Structure 1
């Protein structure tokens, strides 16, 4: 019992010293319970403070970890959803290369070559079209005349490798999982440093002849294909793909040359 009492006395002295109580009389009397209780209460308060600080730090750590997990999910999601799309003209499917897939194979189409109006851009129409809403009107009147817009198929107006004049033009919509940007560069067959080549070919557009409507410059694959054995070289016109040539003047020659056929390349990054 005496040893235990002296142990308590020694402990109280140590705690008094550790908490900056050097100026307090270290001679603790055993018959002074108030002083002893005061020191014990001070220790208990200090322990409660430490516990509170630890709990606060745990909450902060948990919040920081939750934010780290959230940012990681966002980064992973951005990585998995990264990608871009482009249209390849003259092919039924997209290039067989890593990271590039065919969304759908289609039919090139647009406005009639010599008609005003309609859309100026060329579209890649799917092989399995869905009808418009059944209650949508089928006749439109403007100034007492029937008015409407039409879309036609497309035909090549040149012969090269596997295709001939009046062959119908296929197309495909391609997805590029490894890239966020896709560009078409005219007058080039190779891509800039750091870019990957999707395909290369010849630049086409509607003819410059009088009566032909304005259209787009489109890059047709150098190994173009045609649609349907049964419709080869049947002249239905529609949207027409003519090769583009250089015209010297405001276009400097050199580096271009007069009547030079213009190449093109589609690049991704």
Structure 2
């Protein structure tokens, strides 16, 4: 059959047109479906992009927090290092102090085993200070030479309250020699201070420091050297400068008076005055002219 005749045939043309229209409709449907899918994909992409932006923001925030945490960790590590250094230093100090404690304990144990100790006299008190393992050996009466006698001993004594007499035959030869003896008198304060008054009699006590091997009276001080323990402090006293000399003693800063018998006899005897500094050969400063001289008794 001649093809051109068929094309000129209206039915044939209509059939072709209808076929083309159906194909066109099918393609339009497919295009619409594809467009719908593209729109859906674009929406998903937009959503994903939004989520990516959100995630990037979160990542940035987390990175900032990580940086802050790292800074804090670095700071804490520095503090830990500093604390460890201090702990090491303190441990060293503790070790050093423990070594000193062990040494002192060993010394104390050794002294206790050896039965060592030191003895001193507290002037102006009826008992010994309760420091450094101190015990009272005996209480007594302060005594010595008279203020106006040239001879006799120059040292001040602490006489017990219960003296033991010499044998009866002891004095026979002395008396036969014409009475050449030395005299001993009780002590009186020649000034008034706190608990005692002028002419009161002066008590004393002999003390034993059980955990010390040395005792020392330091004039012009009220504190002890390092590692020494203060037993008591007070004021230096002695005889009046224009009378007959005897020794300097350290009167307790809270001195008492003898309560045996009546007070303030004014019998003189071994009389005690406070001591003042006089500038000249004694350098001033550090001393001051007329300064009353303090004292302290220390043990080690």
> Which TM-score tier does this pair reach, normalised by the shorter chain?
0.5 to 0.7
SS at match of 1:79: helix
Counterpart CA distance in 2 for 1:129 and 1:229 is 15
Q: Residues 111 and 139 (structure 1 numbering): CA distance in 2 closer, same or farther, change over 3 Å?
A: farther
Aligned to 2:165: 131
How far apart are residue 148 of structure 1 and its match?
1.6
Question: In the alignment, is residue 82 of structure 1 matched against residue 116 of structure 2?
Answer: yes
Deviation string 1:58-99 (CA, Å, 9 cap, x unpaired) is xxxxxxxxxxxxxxxxx8577341210000000000002240
Aligned to 2:149: 115
Q: Residues 138 and 127 (structure 1 numbering): CA distance in 2 closer, same or farther, change over 3 Å?
A: farther
CA RMSD of aligned residues (A): 1.9
Counterpart CA distance in 2 for 1:205 and 1:165 is 14
Counterpart CA distance in 1 for 2:132 and 2:217 is 20
Aligned to 1:193: 226
Aligned to 2:253: 222
Q: 1:204 aligns with which of 207, 232, 237?
A: 237
Q: 1:97 aligns with which of 128, 131, 140?
A: 131
Q: 1:148 aligns with which of 165, 176, 181?
A: 181
Counterpart CA distance in 2 for 1:170 and 1:138 is 33
Aligned to 2:80: none
Question: In the alignment, is residue 164 of structure 1 matched against residue 193 of structure 2?
Answer: no
Q: Which runs of 5+ in 1 are unaligned?
A: 1-74
What is the aligned length? 193
TM-score of the pair, normalised by structure 2: 0.61
How far apart are residue 230 of structure 1 and its match?
3.2
Counterpart CA distance in 1 for 2:229 and 2:111 is 23
How far apart are residue 138 of structure 1 and its match?
4.7
Q: Residues 77 and 217 (structure 1 numbering): CA distance in 2 closer, same or farther, change over 3 Å?
A: closer
Counterpart CA distance in 1 for 2:119 and 2:214 is 8
SS at match of 1:135: helix
Larger Cα Rg: Structure 1 or Structure 2? 2
Q: 2:267 aligns with which of 220, 236, 247?
A: 236
Q: Is 2:135–2:209's contact at 8 Å kept on the other side of the alignment? A: yes
SS at match of 2:251: strand
Q: Which runs of 5+ in 2 are unaligned?
A: 1-108
Counterpart CA distance in 2 for 1:98 and 1:248 is 37
SS at match of 2:141: strand
Q: Is 2:238–2:272's contact at 8 Å kept on the other side of the alignment? A: yes
Higher percent of residues as helix: 2
Q: Is 2:234–2:253's contact at 8 Å kept on the other side of the alignment? A: yes
TM-score of the pair, normalised by structure 1: 0.68
SS at match of 1:105: strand
Q: Is 1:168–1:231's contact at 8 Å kept on the other side of the alignment? A: no
How far apart are residue 146 of structure 1 and its match?
2.8
Aligned to 1:178: 211
Q: Is 2:154–2:246's contact at 8 Å kept on the other side of the alignment? A: yes
Question: In the alignment, is residue 250 of structure 1 matched against residue 284 of structure 2?
Answer: no
Q: Is 1:167–1:231's contact at 8 Å kept on the other side of the alignment? A: no
Q: Is 2:111–2:211's contact at 8 Å kept on the other side of the alignment? A: no
How far apart are residue 141 of structure 1 and its match?
5.7
Counterpart CA distance in 2 for 1:76 and 1:221 is 31
How far apart are residue 229 of structure 1 and its match?
5.7
